[in-house]
Amino acid sequence: MSALFSVAGKCALVTGGNRGVGLMIARGLLQAGARVYISARDPEVCARSAAELSLWGDCRAIAADLSQTAECARLAQELGRQEDCLHILVNNAGQTLGAPLADFGDEQWDSVFDVNVKGVFQLTRHLHRLLEKGAAEGDPARVINIGSVDGFHVPAMENYSYTASKAALHHLTRHLAKRLGPNVTVNALALGPFISAMTDASIGADMAARAPLRRIGNDDDAAGAVIFLSARAGAFLTGAVIPVDGGLITTV
């Protein structure tokens, strides 16, 4: 049973792994025995975070701006120079911007979609070869996209491009799952409120109060879901969008 839920020895890349949910996931994978690369825009921040995460295992940094297709390609090439294959890709990097409807312009729209949708697609596309090489009999390589319950329901905030991008990401997950099988599974986690730089404390508390489990997500909740999908226990699951939200999805 321990082998069924093991990711020991696997190689993972967690984008946006320097803070928030990405940091929770990267740390959990390291503690479970995986070798982890993290990516973030700022090279110094990325390197510093990798050094801190190295307390739990082998963690390395590759800085990249994933809103740019050329940077997605460069990240894939750099990883390919260091690794023969990739077993787990966690597309966690994301952005949110909000503004009143009358003021919601191209900047608030394009920059969010560039990271949350285009960046996920382009990085997955460029890493496809390494993921294929990481697949084994009965244990495919994994792509795990970090979505949101906001992709299912309409929030109170005027973050139009964020909610639309997460709904798009959920469907992109299903499309990629159909295309990349049988050697690569593609699933998404639709997260509810977690403590992160993108979650306002008061809004997170309000969401937690409305959820059946009456709490905000923690490190184990994020890491546990990713480890399940990454281990052999999750090998037969693809094309799924799984709410990890304390049951918030039942209230909308």
Asked if 91 contacts 144 with a C-beta cutoff of 8 angstroms, the reply is: yes
Strand partners, 186: 143
Nearest to 111 by CA among 125, 98, 101: 98
Ramachandran class of 33: left when φ > 0, alpha when ψ lies in -120 to 50, beta otherwise:
left
Name the catalytic one among 162, 165, 222, 244: 162
Rounded (to 5) percent helix, strand, coil in the chain: 50, 15, 35
Asked if 189 contacts 211 with a C-beta cutoff of 8 angstroms, the reply is: no
162 among known catalytic residues: yes
Residue 157 DSSP one-character state: S
Give how far Cα 93 sits from Cα of 51, 102, 155, 185, 237, Å.
Answer: 19, 28, 21, 19, 23
| Structure token pair of residue 139 | 């244990």
What is the set of active-site residues? Answer: 162
